[in-house]
Amino acid sequence: MNPTCVRIAVVAGAALALAACATSRPRIAKEAAPVFSQSRTTEHRGNDDLLTGGLGLAGLRAITPPAFADAEHPTPAELRRRALWANWRGIADLAPGGGYGELYGSVAAVPGREFSAFATVAGASQPHRVLVQIPDAFDAGKRCVVVTASSGSRGIYGAIAVAGAWGLPKGCAVAYTDKGAGTDYFDLDAGQGVRADGTVVARGEGMAFEPVTTASSGVAFKHAHSKDNPEADWGRHVKQAAQFALQSLDAAFPQSAPFDFGNTRVIAVGLSNGGGAVLRAAELDGDWLDAVVAGEPNVYVEGARPLYDYTTQAALLMPCALLHLQNLPQPPLSAQVAPLWAQRCAALKASGAIQGDDTAAQARSAYEAMKAAGWTDQALRAGALSVGFDLWRAVAVTYASAYGRYGFGELPCGNRYSALDANFSPRAATAAERAAWWSDASGIPPGAGVNIVEPNPTSPLTTLQCLRGLWTGDDDNARRVKQGVAETRAGLPRDGVPMVVIHGTDDGLIPPAFSSVPYVRAAQAAGRDVRYWQVRNAQHFDAFLGLPDYGARYVPLLPYVYAALDRVSAHLDGGGTLPSDAVIETTPRGAGKALQASDLAMPRD
């Protein structure tokens, strides 16, 4: 055992800096690892590096994605580069003036190797992807691994801007998992899915997700249709990624093997769902994590509101409630959406969900109902973005299917997924659309040419009420969904693991009042070493700060993730104390201005 190395676990939205290994207490050696299948190893150097696929900051900022030479048959290398482009742009604010690459973050080329495979947790029917990036600058004498999980339901590169951007330039290996979600879509019309390298193949050819269904039309995807409720196993997904990292390091550096949890520093970092995943990993038995940093984590603890509860409430009430607030961020453009939101108010009144004789009174009633359920004005304002992009419905439909372990076409509210024609009727996907799903999709439709089929097109409120009823009701389907939600409840982290949780006070998708606040409160009450940074004027989506009004109003969260990683790493190296709890009073940069370091008010204590 090498006593100079430790492991760090980092969560979404909070980044721990990985530095040299520090003196640590004795740790367990490598435990029995899971079986990994369809392993691949690829090299990435020159104009195809690990961090950006050779695109650099200018290429990542490009409006159009990297092109495929043959749109119907892209190569694995083309798919990988495009997936990197899509996932960077989906997580980070790369716009000029936003500060990325100048005030914080790195897109410097990092040459090295990638090791990838499928892994399956006990009891699951479908595998999750694991991938390890090992930079050429990895120092076997200062062994460090950053382990992470994709944000949202993104594919395997879904945390590249969180963990990769911090760990790879420091010479650490970075291990990823799609945590049982991802972009391995299956086209039921064509009978085709995705294999390990991202290319499209027919059934029986070793694909990443092959649904069990009798349906012959539409699009199935793993998060919604695996019947595994993957969120219940997020922690185990993360640990298996860390185990795959050790195995990959053994293969990469046989002369320095073995790499195990006793001689290698492991850092787990995640954002959003990835943040929740690393918190869940911190619960697992075994002395295998040195620290955890979690940004804006989707985490559910006893007594708090779970995601499905507040999402289905928002899907119903928020469009109406927002009419009660003034000066909403744009988009959605208030003049365009106000008539539609007024229609929602009237429909809610007709159904008995709210009160009021006119739109203003109805909006006030919806607003008061949401405030009574714990929503803040800051969360409601930022939540307008999720209303405008139809995210509440998208999340509600996918998670209802996942929690209830429903297969394709089995969801009791009637939703399913398909490509749509100009009349919004289901149609078969084209070969070019199908070929780009793995690289372009976010893991939850609508997007990349796949849409939600609305069973009640003339009365969408009916579907939203059905989805809400799966939480508020007491029939067999409601009990089935609520059982799935209960399976995702987080416990206390293992004692002795330093942790930093970071959350924007204006988060409108995963409000801290429902997630990080109750989690931190419970952990600290139990004596766990959890520090909490609350960032004023930060909402959920850094990537949308490229929209002028959002960039003027809000600050990015990623700088605090990276800073938390730096602070935790320095502490593990014996060079600093853990950060104190802090409410960080940031300064929005205003319209037409570039972000300044002083705007971030980075904590020093």
Catalytically active residues, by annotation = 272
Tell me which H or E stretch contains 417: strand 416-420
Contact between 246 and 288 (Cβ < 8 Å): no
Beta strands in 493-575 (DSSP E): 499-504, 530-535
Helical (H) or strand (E) element with 267 = strand 265-271
DSSP string covering 468-512 = HHHHH--SHHHHHHHHHHHTT---PPPTT--EEEEEETT-SSS-G
Q: Among residues 149, 174, 171, 169, which one has the least CA distance to residue 159?
A: 149
Query: CA-to-CA distance for 206 and 157, rounded, in angstroms?
Result: 20
- Ramachandran angles phi, psi of 534, nearest 5°: -105, 120
Nearest to 542 by CA among 384, 325, 382: 382
- At 294, which helix (H) or strand (E)? strand 292-295
At residue 273, the 3 state secondary structure works out as helix
Element (H, E) at 321: helix 307-321
CA angle 539, 542, 543 (to 5 degrees): 135
* 190 and 232 Cβ atoms separated by less than 8 Å: no
DSSP H helical ranges for 352-499: 359-372, 377-388, 391-403, 431-440, 460-472, 476-486
SS3 145: strand
